[in-house]
Amino acid sequence: MVLRLFRIVFLGEDRSGGSPPVRPSGGEMREVLESILSAGLAAADPALAVERHLGVREGEVASGDGTFPARRVFVLSAGKAAGAMAEAAERVLRPVRAEVEGLVVTKYDHRPGPEVYRTLFAAHPEPDEAGVEAARRVTEAVGELEEGDLLLALISGGASALLADPEPPVELAEIKELTGALLRSGAAIDEINCVRKHVSTLKGGGLVRLAAPARTLALLLSDVVGDNLSSIASGLTAPDPTTLEDARDVLRRYRIEPPGSVRELLDGARETPKPGDPVFENVTNVLCGSGRASVEAAAGKARELGYAPLVLSTSMTGDCRGIASAYGAVVREVLESGNPLEAPCALVSGGEATVTVRGDGEGGPNQEFSLALALELDGVPGWAAFSVDTDGNDGPTDAAGGLVDGETVQKIREAGHDPEDLLAENASKAALEAAGALVVTGPTGTNVNDLRVALVET
């Protein structure tokens, strides 16, 4: 299956045509960027990722060189790519001799799982009551597994928030307050997950602790920089190298005063299972996909269309404005000196940008990157760039990101807005919308970090 089941809207136009056969002129860089984005998303197809790493040999579940004999298989698919991953697993497992049940937990309006599995929808990025109910059902089902059973966990980004599993005495309202404060603080995803693990029942290896003594096979679609298994979806199936003191340090570092019950829990909770814990002897974690594949596919498509690609990084992190400043400097250098490579070229990167919220506007790191880059290169001809979250939702918005060029800022001003003021208020969505520069894909069915591409021409 090729991941082309989404709608792309660039600059207010709905386009669904194929890729141009040759590199277009400078005025058509947006069409090139659309083709590059499509290629990047297709490379992150979660169904193909599952099919590459899951099989059946002689009636038994298999992955790589290993087999996982079981009398009963419980499929738990959780995250923004849960529907597609579950559908692929259901197709693969049809010849298996074991009894198979399945539960899918994904975000509202996202693709459900196959009819033979139950699908539950919940909120992301801030959890809701449906997420609490989903976590309760997962806890109940996994807790019933016995020796000789197999937990097949299909995990993608978003599962951490979708499985709202506060450890008592913490309640949902307090988890929402804590999550919101962490998201607004500019904390990196691994720091946010460190805190989540220590106030949750399933995260930080808690899922496999509940499943024991059953075996666990986890296929992980990474949305974290570096593909650290303990950070993907807050490490549901992986040992947790972080500690309670690490979680307290994150809150101190970002000056977050946690709700009373969270503080109480962090002061006295039991630790998460660590590397070397016997519970992981029956656990196999398999990284089945990540943002690197999307970056490489985007670079390959750029080359095919006549743009020499330069992959700046597959693990770029930090505040989106700083990344935009660096991108702007490289674009200027290419235009002025032909370094680090001559135009026509494509500057490609992946990773996980963050936003430090200072105002009351709406947006996300990819939209804010796009607006900041447009300001950096205001009036400069010969370039165009997009930045998107590969899941189709940038931050809490329904936009995937932005597509900008040297004329974007002027369009914002012509629409009656001050782009600098909107950036200061974190109102990147309003700014890009005014310029017709939002990228809207709808839910893509995958989730492998941010993808950024800047094209430069002479």
201 residue type, one letter:
T
Mean of pLDDT over the chain: 92
Beta strand 13-15 with 8-10: parallel, antiparallel or unpaired? antiparallel
The total of other beta-carbon atoms located within 10 Å of residue 99's CB is: 11
Sign of the four-CA dihedral 113, 115, 120, 124: positive
The total of other beta-carbon atoms located within 10 Å of residue 215's CB is: 23
Fold of 8-42+291-456: glycerate kinase, domain 1 (3.40.1480)
pLDDT, position 322: 97
Q: What is the pLDDT of residues 101-157, one digit of tens each?
A: 999 999 999 999 999 999 999 999 889 999 999 999 999 999 999 999 999 999 999
Share above pLDDT 90 across residues of the chain, in percent, rounded to a whole number:
83
**CATH homologous superfamily of 46-289:** Glycerate kinase, MOFRL-like N-terminal domain (3.40.50.10180)
pLDDT, position 4: 33
With cut-offs at 50, 70 and 90, classify the pLDDT of residue 13. very low
pLDDT, position 447: 87
Terminal alpha carbon distance of the chain: 38
Q: What is the pLDDT of residues 229-282, one digit of tens each?
A: 999 999 999 999 999 999 999 999 999 999 989 998 998 767 999 999 999 999
Return d(Cα 457, Cα 148) in angstroms, integer: 60
pLDDT, position 183: 84
Share above pLDDT 70 across residues of the chain, in percent, rounded to a whole number:
94
Q: Which tokens in the block code for residue 257?
A: 């005063």
Report the SS3 class of residue 208: helix
The model carries a pTM of 0.82
Q: What is the pLDDT of residues 392-436, one digit of tens each?
A: 999 889 999 999 999 999 999 999 999 999 999 999 999 999 999
Return d(Cα 58, Cα 37) in angstroms, integer: 40
Please say whether the beta carbons of 201 and 164 come within 8 A. Answer: no
DSSP 74: E
Domain ranges of the chain: 8-42+291-456, 46-289
pLDDT, position 240: 96
pLDDT of 363 over the 70 cut: yes
pLDDT, position 172: 93
